[in-house]
Amino acid sequence: MSEDTILEFRNVTKEFPGVTALSDVSFTVRRGEIHGLCGENGAGKSTLMKILAGVYPYGTYSGTVLYNGKELKLQNGAIQAAVREGISIVYQELTLVPAMTVAENIFLGREPVERGSIDWDRLHSETRSILEKYRLDVRPQDVVRNLGIGQMQMTEIAKALSEDAQVLILDEPTSALSEVEIDRLMEILQTLKARGVTCIYITHKMNEFFRITDQLTVLRDGKVVSSRPTTEFTPEKVVSLMVGREMKERFPRGERRPGDVILEVQDLHAEWAGREVLKGVSFALHKGEILGIAGLMGSGRTELVMTLFGELADVTGGTIKLAGKPVQIRGSQAAMKLGLGLVPEDRKRFGLVLPQSIVRNISLANLGQFGGSLAVNEDSELAASTRMAQDLAVKAPGVQVAVGSLSGGNQQKVVMAKWLLSNPQILIMDDPTRGIDVGAKYEIYKLMNALAERGIGIIMISSELEEVLGMSDRVMVMWQGRSQGTLNTRDATQERIMTLATGLA
């Protein structure tokens, strides 16, 4: 093991009952590099990172992990042990305490103590210096609950940096960040690299690997299929290594002929928790069309879909017309009756009942379809849910397993199955492919095309401009609660969308 190697995996194998999550994994990470780790969900990335974090302690896997030339032996239950060794993880799922301030979160579990009580002054001043050093746009005394999701992610990163990490593992750090925030993160990573901090970078966004990483390791089905300098790859090559097949196109193109207008929104204003979040949104959706909605974090995209679904936000002005008739939508029940379906942002929080089975999740919004006014006919429920799960190619050991045990892509398919079973005329999809691997993304795109061909109008919100351009017929761009303009995808470019989304035009 040479001096510039910080981390080496040698024949690491990790088995769960019935599943081999990692099989004979070997590769090295050099000191001070940014090492990209990619693979579909279920390829073994998370398992590998959990070994590094001590979630799966020494002895629960076979093979060796060398860290600074010595074997890494993290003890059972001592996740802080990894932190003490200098290995910090920024998790994909946010792990902050919403009711605490930024400073309290950053030092959670490591609060500076002076004679038995917390030294608040030191805690705040150290937090301030970290935030300033990395130009993070939050204040130490901000309560995390009030932050945007991008700022929360920044806080999460600040927390890891404050732990004097030698190795920083970033698990999909940008999935919730806006373009501007991503740029800043990239700058931070370059700074860290210059200071000799090693980063392991996990993402599903291909362009980020080529933008930032030095070395790429591709995992498939728990095995390393390639580990080489990034310059030796092309995006197409990486994708084909990940899925094990050549993927000609990332966005399948459907034959679509949009029909009549089914939804028309004019000058919509809305309030959410006493704050005006929509300040004039207008657009039209046609039958069989995919309308993309682009905009940065905080532009009002999610607020718009929640308003359309009659939840959380209150309409304060403007009109919503369904098939030419003005409607007022009060709550999700009313929205469903009017033929709307919603695949919400953050499927774990808003979309699924994780401990319940695939069947129960799919049938949840549709129990009225099975049996009489009171009792649920479980046989017809099972039949319909299974058919839906099969149509959407949900991959699972069976339809009775808890959705919490599925991969992100399959969870998202279950959410879609739920709404498709309700037979909507309009399907609103809020960031439908967030945190989903390439293969599952492709399947979801194909599904969207099939739905549009059946005449369903689809509204798709997305943080990824490539996705918006690849999938939509038209793109409506939002900025600060307003619709800035609607572009035909044929004429739109990423630059034009960004110009509108940043309020420059």
Partner 1 sequence: MSNSTVTQSAQPQETLVSGITRRFRQDFQTYTMIVALVAIWGYFAFATEGSYVSPQNISNLFRQMSVTSLMAAGMVLVIVTGNIDLSVGRLAGYVSVIVAYLQANTWNVYFPDQPALAAISSVIVGLSVGTLWGIAQGYIIAYLRVPAFIVTLGSLFILQGLVLLQTEGKTIPANQPVFSQIGQGYLPAELSWGLVALIVAFLVFNMLRSRRNKRRYGFPLPAPTLEILKIAAYAILLIAYVAVVNSYSIAPGIPYPVLLLALVAVVVTYVSSNTRFGRYAYAIGGNRDAARLSGISIKRNIFLIFVLMGFLCGVAGIVLASYVGYGTIGAGGGYELDVIASAILGGTSTLGGVGTIPGAMIGGLIMASLSTGLQMLNAPPALTYVIKGSVLVFAVLLDVYLKRNDS
Binding site for partner 1 (CB under 8 A): 19, 21, 42, 221-222, 309, 311, 331-333, 335-336, 342, 344, 349-356, 358, 360, 364-365, 367-368, 374-376, 378-380, 382-383, 386, 389-390, 393-399, 418
Name which of 273 and 375 has its Cβ closer to partner 1.
Answer: 375
Q: How far apart are CA 310 and CA 333, in angstroms?
A: 9
In a 13 Å sphere around the CA of 145, the CA atoms on its Cβ side amount to: 3
Name which of 24 and 126 has its Cβ closer to partner 1.
Answer: 24
The nearest distance, CB 466 to partner 1, in angstroms, is 28
| Strand partners of residue 88 | 168
Name which of 265 and 359 has its Cβ closer to partner 1.
Answer: 359
The nearest distance, CB 478 to partner 1, in angstroms, is 21
Name which of 70 and 349 has its Cβ closer to partner 1.
Answer: 349
In a 13 Å sphere around the CA of 374, the CA atoms on its Cβ side amount to: 0
Q: Which residues of 283-309 are buried (b: 16+ CB within 10 A; e: fewer)?
A: bbbbbbbbbbbbbbbbbbbbbbbbbbb
**Edge-first strand listing for the sheet containing 5-16:** 19-30, 5-16, 62-67, 70-71
Residue pointed to by tokens 């076979």: 62
Q: Which amino acid is at 259?
A: G
Note the Cα 260 to chain centre separation in Å. Answer: 33
The nearest distance, CB 94 to partner 1, in angstroms, is 16
Q: How far apart are CA 63 and CA 217, in angstroms?
A: 18
Q: How far apart are CA 441 and CA 432, in angstroms?
A: 9
Name which of 21 and 469 has its Cβ closer to partner 1.
Answer: 21
| The two structure tokens encoding residue 131 | 């935030």
Q: How far apart are CA 283 and CA 493, in angstroms?
A: 20
Q: Is the distance from CB of 406 to CB of 440 less than 8 angstroms?
A: no
Name which of 223 and 321 has its Cβ closer to partner 1.
Answer: 223
The nearest distance, CB 345 to partner 1, in angstroms, is 11
Note the Cα 123 to chain centre separation in Å. Answer: 31
Name which of 259 and 331 has its Cβ closer to partner 1.
Answer: 331
The nearest distance, CB 235 to partner 1, in angstroms, is 24
Name which of 177 and 399 has its Cβ closer to partner 1.
Answer: 399
The nearest distance, CB 14 to partner 1, in angstroms, is 12
The nearest distance, CB 19 to partner 1, in angstroms, is 5
The nearest distance, CB 412 to partner 1, in angstroms, is 13
The nearest distance, CB 399 to partner 1, in angstroms, is 5
Residue pointed to by tokens 């061909």: 453
> Taking the CB of residue 271, how many other CB atoms lie within 10 A of it?
16
Three state DSSP letters for 415-473 = HHHHHHHCCCCEEEEECCCCCCCHHHHHHHHHHHHHHHHCCCEEEEECCCHHHHHHHCC
| The two structure tokens encoding residue 93 | 């799922």
Name which of 233 and 309 has its Cβ closer to partner 1.
Answer: 309
Name which of 216 and 335 has its Cβ closer to partner 1.
Answer: 335
Cα 370–371–375 angle (5° rounding)?
105
> Comparing C-alpha atoms, which of 95, 451, 415, 416 is closest to residue 254?
451
Name which of 77 and 503 has its Cβ closer to partner 1.
Answer: 77
Q: How far apart are CA 141 and CA 147, in angstroms?
A: 11
The nearest distance, CB 485 to partner 1, in angstroms, is 29
Note the Cα 32 to chain centre separation in Å. Answer: 27
The nearest distance, CB 139 to partner 1, in angstroms, is 28
Assign 364 to helix, strand or coil: helix
Name which of 192 and 342 has its Cβ closer to partner 1.
Answer: 342
The nearest distance, CB 402 to partner 1, in angstroms, is 10
Q: Is the distance from CB of 368 to CB of 422 less than 8 angstroms?
A: no
